[in-house]
């Protein structure tokens, strides 16, 4: 049993832990990696050697480190296996709003023992001392290939700021006595914006289940009154059977809920366009239109018509129908429209055909997709500059549509509108599994979601990039006139 278990780790104890690690390396014939260590009662952080498990000496990963020499991990009696996700937090980028991609990522190992003493070192670093972290903290640094790299003394200040300031590192993962209470977690997530809910979902299996629960509630509330609450489960089962999804303003609203954008809109007008949708837009697979219409008729939608398809979608949409449902008890003065689009070759083809970024989101009965996730909480969107694509008109629009991306902050990266992107292997499309209860088909390609791999699609949103911080920036052309 390690000396770090269930006791104060002061400077003398830390020296004993280092000696124990060196003894382990010497007698196992392996080697160690230098990591950052925060003893719960040490005067300062320090760099310590951490042994590597036998067989992983060439390119050790964070999970290959013998971190339990420094961090207390409480295993369930009577089992041979334990979940590493309960003991570590991955930080792929910090600061998270940095304009330049960091060449290193970090993994934070923490104690999960409820009787460990509070970490006074982190409290002193935080100032004010409001952090509720127990036990020791160990931080490993990895390169872009996931191999653990040595940490030096100059890295300690940077890592201290990361551990104290980053919300994923401390405020969620390191407060089990608060966030393991379901009622408290529900109250916190109910007031959080979508990126924060996603951050909690990446913390642990428990955080993911609570995030999925919160997103389910939001989807149900957003669809009202087009789909009533008692119709929600049946509607999702039907949509899954039809291979369909939801696009348009409902998905945009879902992704921007609880954000400052929506809060400001509500303060200006409780009936603001951002807080309601005028129609429900559905997309179904080829051949499923008639079944989808029958299902919507059972939910009260009647008086169907077949309008013209907007020009940007004519090559990817087979047919389009619109149905109307009148509100209960009213004198036919309040109506709700549903639009059913039958795709030619898959749902994502319809989503990617949109000439405006605010329409490039998709909600299926299992996942949420966003092609440009950096824009989900911003009011402004921008449209394609391709001269062959004529954007559709939007009356009383709630998004401020710009002509280019010159107002983007930081480099575009994988979301640059001028690069040729492909659905297979694309790193820019964000997705979240909100409903694990439905079975989905196997993907055609490894490491690619089945829906993205359904058809090998490629697209280029714009001809030129107007973001001056992007490596693909193209200056505007100057026009010369005759005098």
Give 301-358 pLDDT, tens digit per residue. Answer: 988 999 988 888 888 999 999 999 887 655 555 788 999 999 988 899 999 998 888 8
Higher pLDDT residue, 2 or 195? 195
| pLDDT value of position 396 | 41
| pLDDT value of position 173 | 43
Higher pLDDT residue, 367 or 263? 367
Q: 10 Å Cβ neighbour count for 187?
A: 10
User: Could you give the count of Cα atoms lying within 13 Å of 163 in the half-sphere of its Cβ?
Assistant: 33
Supply 167's token pair: 């919300």
The band of 269, judged by pLDDT with boundaries at 50, 70 and 90, is: low
Averaged over 268-289, what is the pLDDT? 82
Q: How far, in Å, are 346, 401, 441, 456 from residue 450 at the CA level? A: 11, 31, 7, 11
Indicate the range of 4-8, 139-143, 261-265, 424-428 predicted with least confidence.
4-8
The band of 455, judged by pLDDT with boundaries at 50, 70 and 90, is: confident
| pLDDT value of position 5 | 44
Give the tens place of pLDDT for each residue, 347-393: 999 999 988 888 899 999 999 999 999 888 887 788 888 887 765 55
pLDDT at 109 over 60: yes
| pLDDT value of position 310 | 85
Please tell me the distance from the alpha carbon of residue 354 to that of residue 360, in angstroms, as a whole number. Answer: 6
| pLDDT value of position 395 | 42
| pLDDT value of position 50 | 93
Mind listing the domains of the chain with CATH numbers? Answer: 11-180 (no CATH), 228-403 (3.30.460)
Token pair 């003065």 is found at: 333
| pLDDT value of position 346 | 86
Average pLDDT of the residues of the chain:
82
| pLDDT value of position 128 | 43
| pLDDT value of position 118 | 77
- β-strand pairing of 430-433 with 32-38: unpaired
pLDDT at 404 over 50: yes
Give the tens place of pLDDT for each residue, 200-251: 887 777 788 889 999 999 999 999 889 999 999 999 999 999 999 999 989 9
| pLDDT value of position 172 | 44
Averaged over 130-149, what is the pLDDT? 82
From 284, 321, 324, select the one nearest 300 (Cα to Cα).
324
The band of 98, judged by pLDDT with boundaries at 50, 70 and 90, is: low
From 392, 356, 238, 384, select the one nearest 301 (Cα to Cα).
238
| pLDDT value of position 272 | 63
**Surface-to-core class of residue 428, CB atoms within 10 Å of its CB (0-12 exposed, 13-18 middle, 19+ buried):** middle
From 82, 62, 350, select the one nearest 205 (Cα to Cα).
82
Give the tens place of pLDDT for each residue, 46-97: 999 999 988 888 889 988 898 888 888 766 555 567 777 778 888 887 766 6
Please tell me the distance from the alpha carbon of residue 121 to that of residue 195, in angstroms, as a whole number. Answer: 29
């Amino acid at each position: 049993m390690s000396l770090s278990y269930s006791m104060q780790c002061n400077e003398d104890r830390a020296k004993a832990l280092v000696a124990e690690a060196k003894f382990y390396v010497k007698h196992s014939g392996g080697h160690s990696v230098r990591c950052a260590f925060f003893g719960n009662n040490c005067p300062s952080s320090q760099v310590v050697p951490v042994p590597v498990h036998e067989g992983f000496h060439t390119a050790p990963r964070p999970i290959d480190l013998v971190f339990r020499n420094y961090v207390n991990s409480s295993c369930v009696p009577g089992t041979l296996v334990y979940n590493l996700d309960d003991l570590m937090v991955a930080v792929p980028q910090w600061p998270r709003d940095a304009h330049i991609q960091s060449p290193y990522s970090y993994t934070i190992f923490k104690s999960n023992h409820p009787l460990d003493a509070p970490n006074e070192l982190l409290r002193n670093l935080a100032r004010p001392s409001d952090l509720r972290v127990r036990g020791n903290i160990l931080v490993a640094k990895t390169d872009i290939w996931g191999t653990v790299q040595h940490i030096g003394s100059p890295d300690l200040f940077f890592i201290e700021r990361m551990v104290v300031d980053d919300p994923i590192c401390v405020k969620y993962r390191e407060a089990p006595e608060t966030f393991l209470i379901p009622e408290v977690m529900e109250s916190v997530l109910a007031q959080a914006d979508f990126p924060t809910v996603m951050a909690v979902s990446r913390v642990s299996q428990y955080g993911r289940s609570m995030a999925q629960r919160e997103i389910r509630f939001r989807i149900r509330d957003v669809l009202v009154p087009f789909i009533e609450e008692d119709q929600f489960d049946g509607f999702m089962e039907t949509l899954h059977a039809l291979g369909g999804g939801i696009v348009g303003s409902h998905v945009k609203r879902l992704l921007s809920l609880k954000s400052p954008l929506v809060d400001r809109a509500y303060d200006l007008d409780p009936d603001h366009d951002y807080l309601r949708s005028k129609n429900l837009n559905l997309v179904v697979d080829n051949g499923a239109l008639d079944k989808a219409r029958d299902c919507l008729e059972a939910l009260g939608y009647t008086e169907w018509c077949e309008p013209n398809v907007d020009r940007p979608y004519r090559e990817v949409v087979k047919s389009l129908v619109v149905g109307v449902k009148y509100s209960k008890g009213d004198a036919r003065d309040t109506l709700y429209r549903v639009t059913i689009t039958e795709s030619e070759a898959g749902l994502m083809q319809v989503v990617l055909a949109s000439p405006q970024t605010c329409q490039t989101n998709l909600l299926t009965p299992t996942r949420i997709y966003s092609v440009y996730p950096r824009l989900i909480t911003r009011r402004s969107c921008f449209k394609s500059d391709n001269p062959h694509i004529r954007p559709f008109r939007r009356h009383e629009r709630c998004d401020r549509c710009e002509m280019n991306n010159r107002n983007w902050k930081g480099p575009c990266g994988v979301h640059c509108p001028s690069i040729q992107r492909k659905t297979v292997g694309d790193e820019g499309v964000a997705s979240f599994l909100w409903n694990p209860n439905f079975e989905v088909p196997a993907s055609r390609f490894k490491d690619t979601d089945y829906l993205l791999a359904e058809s090998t699609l490629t697209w280029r949103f714009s001809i030129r990039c107007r973001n001056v911080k992007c490596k693909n920036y193209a200056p505007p052309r100057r026009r010369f006139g005759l005098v």
